[in-house]
Chain A
Amino acid sequence: QSALTQPPSASGSPGQSVTISCTGTSSDIGAYKYVSWYQQNPGKAPKRIIYEVTKRPSGVPDRFSGSKSGNTASLTVSGLQTEDEGDYYCSSHAGTKVIFGGGTKLTVL
């Protein structure tokens, strides 16, 4: 099962918005509403920031939002802050398994 496709890098200045895409197929993202996004800082375990495409766990700022169209999911970070720097991974339910994207390194310029 191929990984979901994410851009390797993304960047933006403080206060700007950035969107990270995550492309799958009709067997994963396109078929289910179970897309999640995780933020990972160096040396730390990933932290879930979006689940079920659009839902935000308690404590996650509303600057983070998720969406999906067809086989592509997206994570938008609005009002970028320096602490948003890190690696971001998408994942999707895919029948009897879970698949991840390759990750996107977000740099706040």
Chain B
Amino acid sequence: QLQLQESGPGLVKPSETLSLTCTVSGGSISNSSYYWGWIRQPPGKGLQWLGSISYSGGSFYNPSLKSRLSISIDTSKNQFSLNLRSVTAADTAVYYCTREDKSSSDYWGQGTLVTVSS
């Protein structure tokens, strides 16, 4: 059974970079059929797609975050990562990593809360 697990700091200071890693187990991240994505959910609010990446490194980003966001993949570790620069309180959210199949997320991590605060 495929499992995804987010890891990273739960607290980030304003203007700094939010960095999260998703570790995939129970399957290979190098499967060309899928993309690997990030979705976030601010407390009490809805879901926002951030972006996704293929095993070969091809990526797509939410236009509203594109200038601050980068997603990378490390097939040797079966991991992919998110870096969000210059964060503000508006970036406080639960961040989920997912597996995408034709723009649909079929597997999700449990989510990790990241708070932006000094």
Instruction: Give the total of B residues in contact with A, Cβ under 8 Å.
Output: 23
Query: Which residues of the other chain, B, contact A34 by a CB distance below 8 angstroms?
Result: 102-104
* Cβ–Cβ contact B104 & A36, under 8 A: yes
Query: Which residues of the other chain, B, contact A51 by a CB distance below 8 angstroms?
Result: 101-102, 104, 106
Query: Which residues of the other chain, A, contact B30 by a CB distance below 8 angstroms?
Result: none
Contact residues on A (Cβ < 8 Å of other chain), bracket: 20 to 34
The chain A residue with its CB closest to the CB of B49 is A98
**How many residue pairs, one in A and one in B, have C-beta atoms under 8 Å apart?**
62
Max count, chain A CB within 10 A of own CB: residue among B48, B49, B103, B111: B103
B52 to chain A, nearest CB (A): 8
* Cβ–Cβ contact A36 & B60, under 8 A: no
With A45-B96, A96-B60 as known contacts, state yes or no: A36 contacts B46, CB within 8 Å: no
* Cβ–Cβ contact A89 & B102, under 8 A: no
